[in-house]
Amino acid sequence: MEGIYFDNNATTRVDPAVVEAMLPYFTEQFGNPSSMHSFGNKVGLAIKKARMQVQELLGAEHDSEIIFTSCGTESDSTALLSALKAQPERKEIITTTVEHPAILTLCAYLEKEGYKVHYLKVDGKGRLDLDEYKKLLSEQTAVVSVMWANNETGTFFPVVEMAELANAAGAMFHTDAVQAVGKVPLNLKDTKIDMLSVSGHKLHAPKGIGVLYLKRGTRFRPLLRGGHQERGRRAGTENTTSIVGLGKAAEMALEAMTFENTEVARLRDKLEAAILAKVPRSFVTGNPDNRLPNTSNIAFEFIEGEAILLLLNKFGIAASSGSACTSGSLEPSHVMRAMGIPYTAAHGTVRFSLSRYSTEAEVDRVIAVVPEIIAQLRKLSPYWEGDGPAAEPEKAFAPTYA
């Protein structure tokens, strides 16, 4: 069997139909869309088509609200920095403790630059407290940036409602929706969301292409200045092949929307239920009642995630973990810590993220393999004795220096 790829929140395979749509733009359609001659003209039309395909997926009112960028991170940075530049009198940002580093690292930098950043906390299931949010919104708030769906747990935030509240306070609202786009039906024209980030490679388009949705009328200051590309809002010659690819991928995502929310969700649910039934001391993190249809994040207590991934990889199964070791940092996932998951479980979290290419046979295989891997590692764990955790595990093993 070919490898089983259950790490689609990290990145997805490029759909063969997407590759096919892109290929002519490497060869015969190589022109610069800005050129007057016929070499460029057809490329310009292809970009126009892609823009409309993305517009449709996002439910945007105008195709000119779609700005092509190089990635989700560029879209995030552009959005936040623009909001601050455009409203110099407002010095505060509201975001959450569980955002992607594309937002959190930028916010840490902006704090050094003198901005005040408020981080909304989450509860044990990764949910926000909207009362806390309402209290923080003020005339000082330049922008609110809250992710649509969490990349680790898949948990949704009520961004549509939060955008209304921001709008009422005169603040801009941005959402990093890289995990949600293509999996959640969107109708941005009926929302107060001002800016939204998309990443192509999360929805079967290639890496290196992203979108910033910018609602018409939202004050904007470009990150990259130069040529007139993207109506002067993102200078730099267009990544034509990838834009065409993203257009095709957006069209296909729209067609597969129901499938993602029924069949993919069914496979995910089957996988999760079977693992929880077979593996003692394991639990789902985040909010299983309100999350992406493809994501399941399971904590396996008393073992460490990187070791789980290495063993899964031996069986050809790809997933990811919130352990410190997988990222080379000194702390487990900030998302798990924010939800108050204890260290002995946070390091052992594994994220399975499916796609519309995942099959029942793959799910069955993972269900068969995971319990023995977990048992094998627990045999090595100082917190584990025989068939269960040591009595009072935290006391049974309390190593020096913490």
Residue from the set 84, 103, 381, 389 that interacts with other proteins by CB under 8 A: 381
186 and 58 Cβ atoms separated by less than 8 Å: yes
Tell me: does residue 392 bind other proteins (CB under 8 A). no
Nearer to other proteins, 252 or 317 (CB): 317
Least distance in Å: CB of 392 to other proteins?
15
Three-class secondary structure assignment of 342-383: CHHHHCCEEEEECCCCCCHHHHHHHHHHHHHHHHHHHHHCCC
Contacts from 318-321 at CB under 8 Å and sequence distance 24+?
A: 318/3, 318/4, 318/5, 318/6, 318/7, 319/6, 319/7, 319/350, 319/351, 319/352, 319/353, 320/7, 320/9, 320/10, 320/350, 320/351, 320/353, 321/348, 321/349, 321/350, 321/351
The set of catalytic residues is 325
Residue from the set 20, 129, 190, 331 that interacts with other proteins by CB under 8 A: 331
50 and 183 Cβ atoms separated by less than 8 Å: no
Least distance in Å: CB of 109 to other proteins?
10
In the stretch 102-131, what mask flags binding to other proteins with x, by CB under 8 A?
------------------------------
Nearer to other proteins, 25 or 384 (CB): 384
Residue from the set 119, 283, 315, 343 that interacts with other proteins by CB under 8 A: 343
First to last CA, the chain: 43
145 and 95 Cβ atoms separated by less than 8 Å: yes
Q: Which of residues 291-310 bind other proteins (CB under 8 A)?
A: 302-307, 310
Tell me: does residue 387 bind other proteins (CB under 8 A). no
d(CA 143, CA 283): 35
Tell me: does residue 352 bind other proteins (CB under 8 A). no
Least distance in Å: CB of 301 to other proteins?
10
Tell me: does residue 401 bind other proteins (CB under 8 A). yes
Nearer to other proteins, 38 or 401 (CB): 401
Binding site for other proteins (CB under 8 A): 302-307, 310-311, 313-314, 323-326, 328-332, 343-344, 347, 379-383, 397-402
